[in-house]
Amino acid sequence: MPAIIRQVDLVERVKRYDPGADEALLNRAYIYAMKAHGSQKRASGEPFVAHPLEVAAILTDLRLDSATIIAAVLHDTIEDTGTEREDIDRIFGPEIGALVDGLTKIKKLDFVSREAMQGENFRKLLLAVAADLRVLLVKLADRLHNMRTLGFMPPEKRKRIAEETLDIYAPLAGRMGIQEIRDELEDLAFRNLDPDAHDTIARRLADMTDRNGQLVEEVEHELRVKLSAQGLSATVSGRRKRPYSIWRKMERKSIAFEQLSDVFGFRIIVDDAPGCYGALGIVHTAWPVVPGRFKDYISNPKGNDYRSLHTTVIGPRSQRVELQIRTADMDEVAEYGIAAHALYKDKPGGGARPGAVPAESRAYQWLRRTVDLLAEGDSPEEFLEHTKLELFHDQVFCFTPKGRLIALPRGATAIDFAYAVHTNVGNSAVGAKINGRMTPLFNELQNGDEVEIVRADGQMPPPAWESLVATGKARAAIRRATRASVRRQFAGLGRQIVERAFQRAGKPFSDDKLKGALPRLARGSIEDVLSAVGRGEMFSGDVIKGVYPEHKDERRGADGRDDARQARTNEAGSGGAPPSPNAVPIRGLDRDLPVRFAPNGGAVPGDRIVGILTMGEGVTIYPIQSRALAAFDNHPESWIDVRWDVEPGENRRFPARLALQSLNEPGSLAQIAQVIADHNGNIENVSMARRSADFTDVTIDLSVFDLKHLNAIMSELRAKPNVSRVERVLG
């Protein structure tokens, strides 16, 4: 069991980088924590006070001010002892009291409790951090020490804490640019979540290091020599990547360990930014560059203030070598992130507010914008559902035309952006302007894009959008809108069926009358009834009986067939009286009715048609001559009286099928296709079967405007010498 950090050692750590630190206050905090925690023990059996002291020691490595170190020493006193906030304020001052209180509010952050509690606790964390960044630094150090000692916890709790660390704390450290802590948190979480994978990769890394011998030292030496030969003073260091970094790359790229070629990374530290580009030129001149692996984060820093040049070259022994080139200041920010700004270390009167950071810090700006964004959530549950994962993984940050920040995960589209603004914006979106240019809604967004969503009244999202979006919020909203749209479509069809059924029966219909019949129909609302009729789950005759229980259907023939079928059959045989004015109007597949056409032959305007109502599918339209209708003879309630409602000149196409017999000779199919093209028909599908050595059967699915259009194509085909027979298929 490691020894507890001594009082003198803790004070010495702080005085080493801050000689003016308040030594008396540090000593007082140490003694206060020892007394407050008394005989409390950790799961490991060591005194509880060892934990806050280790947290304070971690923060001394970040060279933080004495107020933060004292807050770390005291951070568990309010939560786990009898100490009150007023006690801390009185003894150590309100600044330290506020820090400890901020940490206390988030101490029981528990992501396996109720979602409302999770969301509210995490919101409090971000709000506390936005008020004083030092809260986050202490919290991350607290989590790091807990992860280092996680082995003493029960397996289930160990797994929960590791998952929480990987999902929340490590990415949050990364967003704040504190890479050193992020790397260790990720690796410790990986070791606990998948110890076998961690150990396997660690062993392979050790074996690779042994096989490559002195490769790291060799590359370091060559880099120093080449840079020095050009008069450039630089510090060069190499390191092996961590197991979690290796595993994540293997997962992301779906490659085996043996396929990795950049396990070692090297850092070149120079005096200034021009020296970075000078070193880059020397390296690129000395060794071949791997194409596509150069990134300039100096001219275009990352969102967490990270600045560096990245490149990959083919170095000694033909090994890929990853290089990071930066200045000492850039290196400090790269390792310690927002803690490296350290404006809060200034003494009172120096102009810095405790816990403040420079206004130009991109990481802190991101944090404040994120807090503003999360504050708009309607409920803690919604906050967790829509932002927890997306908030801390790789992101793109886009803006509305008014400057509102929208944070989205990598791969998000303008559709995701629209739903992030508001569900109604997403549902009514028809296009997007990205940086002032019209683009498709499914275009992937990039950091800094300004996105304006073009909307249209009455627009609803197509179901296909669900597969194009990257956010759970957009996906859930599209599913809800699709269900609501389908329900409305079936209800619309059901209303038309019911209204015409009442007209045929000579009974008045109104929503009020239908509402009174809801108990008899066992439905909760009028829309439920109409939707059920449209889906084929309830028949119009049942609705009439529900409203008028005494009504008897006198339209059925002796053989059980509905008069609608009989009337249509009579029309087809007699050359056709006009359709009943009570028939449901049919326009096509792209209207608001859930209507489809017969699968084996279709139907076109000019055909006498009948509708078959099928449960869950709406209405299928058949030509009255279709042989498939015989299957519905014993289901008269399925027959729906329908009519075409297509205006002349609409140029709407409808499906039809032709069966041809053609000579088996070169060019026959081309001639057939040319006839259809010349008549402005559109071929959807073609299938062929050899009948004999001389003849081939050809089946063509095509779309035409109406029956006249189809007959013209058939007449032209019959006139071709290579076509012996043409018939229309009617199912």
Instruction: Supply the residues annotated as catalytic.
Output: 79-80
C-alpha dihedral sign at 618, 620, 624, 627: negative
Selection from 343, 265, 390, 386 nearest residue 68 by Cα: 343
Q: What is the DSSP letter of 165?
A: I
Given the structure tokens 């829309």, which residue do they identify?
Answer: 527
Contact (Cβ atoms closer than 8 angstroms) between residue 521 and residue 543:
yes
Query: Are the CB atoms for 263 and 201 separated by under 8 Å?
Result: no
**Closest to 244 (Cα-Cα) out of 162, 300, 172, 307:** 162
Pair 299, 277: CB distance under 8 Å? no
Cβ atoms within 10 Å, residue 153:
17
Q: Say how far apart CA 57 and CA 35 lie, in whole Å.
A: 19
How does strand 642-644 pair with strand 584-586? Answer: parallel
Report yes or no: 73 and 50 within 8 Å, Cβ to Cβ: no
Residues in the chain: 731
Please state the three-class secondary structure of 366-389 as a single string. Answer: HHHHHHHHHCCCCCHHHHHHHHHH
Tokens of 614: 């099928």
- Which residues contact residue 144 at a Cβ distance below 8 angstroms, ignoring those fewer than 6 apart? 58, 181, 184, 185, 188
Contact yes or no for 64/137 (Cβ under 8 A): yes
**In a 10 Å sphere around its CB, with 0-12 CB exposed, 13-18 middle and 19+ buried, how is residue 264 labelled?**
buried
Taking the CA atoms of the chain, what radius of gyration do you get in angstroms?
37
Query: Which of 70, 87, 69 minimizes the C-alpha distance to 78?
Result: 87
Contact 694, 664 (CB under 8 A): yes
Structure tokens at 615: 């449960």
Residues 6+ apart with CB under 8 A from 39: 47
13 touches 5 (CB < 8 A):
no
Q: Residue 307: which residues within 8 A CB-CB, separation 6 or more?
A: 297, 298, 301, 326, 330, 333, 334
**Cα 675 from Cα 713, distance rounded (Å):** 7
266 strand-pairing partners? 238, 323
The number of beta carbons lying within 10 Å of the beta carbon of residue 667 is 10
- At 421 the three-state DSSP class reads helix
Strand 609-614 to strand 639-640: parallel, antiparallel, or no bridges (unpaired)?
antiparallel
CA distance 438 to 298: 31
CA distance 401 to 674: 51
User: What's the CA angle centered on 559, arms 554 and 561, to 5 degrees?
Assistant: 65
Element (H or E) spanning 659, and its range? Answer: strand 654-663
